[in-house]
């Protein structure tokens, strides 16, 4: 019997395969039901997306996970251990990068990481600190205070703090909000490498293209509830949509009669059309366009995106509030 099989026999499958188990979590703030019977399993080693509009309950759920928000009911386990009964152990397993940027201004970047290491009983953590400073391009800022850092550099320091004790589960709450493209790319390169090493990554973001590019599975929240949990592929394939973009050599203005059965948009120079259609109508539309014998310069066919799924499931439409 291999070691993992023996653990499974002793503790049950969840100990091996489940990083976080959330059961029947409720939280109210006065009349507001912030979380409403939330149930969620996050697998060990996966890159998991937690998405939803503002006020959906994502930050409240993360606050409960990190011990900063008191739940009204339900229970949460981290690597098989209850977050209340085994607070110290579960805290060590988690590295949470919050949205808010807060630091003690009287310590340098290196001292900040040394002190944070001490919170977890880690002494002589120079090797890990140097690794993080180098990976997050903070090495040349190590001896200055947080007040002298740019907004992007402060965000990097937040991430370094969350990782300095080498947690098994990393929670990134809007980690790239307000940061430049270079930092965003370098951050994701580092986080993907951590995930490849077996770390569990949980990401909340309003940049849906990030979630679509990075996450294995995604949970979509709305009004305190989990609306849907599935793989990225299954979520996207649930939308019956194809977007066809065709660029012609010459203007197609005047061909409305020939294309009357096709709902299309014509761009300003009248040489490019966009057609949104159901998957089953794709072949019929392409055959009709082909019969026109027009000189096609370029064609692109796109499936639905995660954004389409998000809008459908949260019923946001064009309203951002």
DSSP string of 217-243, one letter each residue: EEEEEETTEEEEEEEHHHHHHTS--EE
Q: Are 17 and 79 in contact (CB under 8 A)?
A: no
Residues 196, 163 share a domain: yes
Strand-pair partners of 65: none
CA dist 28 and 14 (Å) reads 29
Residues 188, 54 share a domain: yes
13 located within any domain: no
Residues 220, 152 share a domain: yes
Residues 224, 164 share a domain: yes
Residues 249, 211 share a domain: no
Residues 194, 112 share a domain: yes
Residues 191, 281 share a domain: no
What pLDDT score was predicted for residue 34?
Answer: 96
What pLDDT score was predicted for residue 301?
Answer: 85
CATH of the domain at 293: 3.30.2130.10
Q: Are 244 and 277 in contact (CB under 8 A)?
A: yes
pTM over 0.75: yes
Residues 257, 150 share a domain: no
Q: Are 274 and 244 in contact (CB under 8 A)?
A: yes
Query: In this structure, what token pair is assigned to residue 275?
Result: 């057609």
Residues 168, 268 share a domain: no
**pLDDT tens for residues 240-272?**
788 888 888 887 776 666 666 666 666 666 778
317 located within any domain: no
Crossing angle between the packed helical segments 181-196 and 151-163, to the nearest 10 degrees:
10
Query: Got the DSSP string for 17-74?
Result: HEEEEEEEEEEEETTEEEEEEEEEEEETT-EEEEE--TTSSHHHHHHHHTTSS--SEE
CB atoms within 10 A of CB 3: 7
The pairing of strands 200-204 and 169-173 is parallel
Please give the residue range of the domain that contains residue 158.
Answer: 45-69+86-232
Residues 50, 178 share a domain: yes
CA dist 51 and 204 (Å) reads 6
CA dist 229 and 287 (Å) reads 37
What angle is formed at CA 106 by the lines to CA 104 and CA 108, rounded to 5 degrees?
A: 90
How many CA atoms within 13 Å lie on the side-chain side of 106?
A: 1
Burial class for 60, CB neighbours closer than 10 Å (0-12, 13-18, 19+): buried
CA dist 208 and 196 (Å) reads 22
Q: Which residues of 198-228 are buried (b: 16+ CB within 10 A; e: fewer)?
A: ebbbbbbbeebebbbebbebbbbbbbbbbbb
Structural domains counted in the chain: 2
Low-confidence spans in the chain with pLDDT less than 50: 1-15, 317-321
CB atoms within 10 A of CB 282: 14
Residues 143, 246 share a domain: no
**pLDDT tens for residues 141-200?**
999 998 898 888 888 899 999 999 999 999 999 888 767 787 788 888 889 999 999 999
262 located within any domain: yes
158 located within any domain: yes
Q: How far is CA 236 from the centre of its chain?
A: 15
């Amino acid at each position: 019997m291999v070691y993992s099989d023996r653990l499974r026999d002793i503790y049950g499958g969840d100990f091996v395969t489940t990083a976080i188990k959330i059961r029947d979590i409720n939280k109210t703030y006065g009349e507001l039901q912030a979380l409403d019977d939330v149930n969620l399993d996050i697998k060990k080693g996966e890159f998991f997306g937690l998405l939803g509009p503002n006020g959906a309950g994502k930050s409240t759920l993360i606050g409960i996970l990190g011990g900063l928000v008191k739940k009204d009911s339900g229970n949460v386990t981290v690597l098989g251990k209850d977050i209340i009964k085994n607070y110290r152990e579960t805290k060590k397993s988690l590295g949470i990068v919050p949205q808010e940027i807060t630091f003690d201004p009287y310590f340098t970047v290196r001292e900040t990481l040394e002190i944070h290491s001490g919170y977890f009983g880690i002494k002589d953590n120079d090797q890990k600190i140097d690794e993080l400073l180098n990976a997050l391009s903070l090495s040349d800022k190590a001896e200055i205070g947080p007040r002298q850092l740019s907004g992007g550099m402060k965000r990097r320091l937040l991430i370094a703090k969350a990782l300095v004790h080498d947690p098994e589960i990393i929670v990134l709450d809007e980690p790239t909000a307000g940061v430049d493209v270079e930092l965003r790319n370098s951050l994701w390169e580092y986080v993907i490498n951590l995930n490849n090493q077996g770390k569990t990554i949980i990401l909340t973001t309003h940049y849906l293209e990030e979630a679509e590019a990075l996450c294995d599975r995604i949970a979509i929240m709305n009004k305190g509830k989990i609306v849907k949990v599935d793989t990225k592929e299954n979520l996207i394939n649930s939308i019956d949509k194809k977007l066809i973009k065709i660029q012609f050599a010459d203007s197609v203005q005047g061909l409305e009669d020939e294309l009357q059965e096709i709902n299309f948009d014509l761009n300003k120079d009248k040489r490019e059309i966009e057609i949104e259609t159901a998957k089953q109508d794709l072949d019929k539309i392409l055959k009709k366009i082909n019969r026109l014998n027009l000189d096609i310069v370029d064609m692109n066919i796109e499936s639905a995106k995660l954004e389409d799924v998000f809008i459908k499931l949260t019923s946001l439409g064009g309203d951002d509030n």
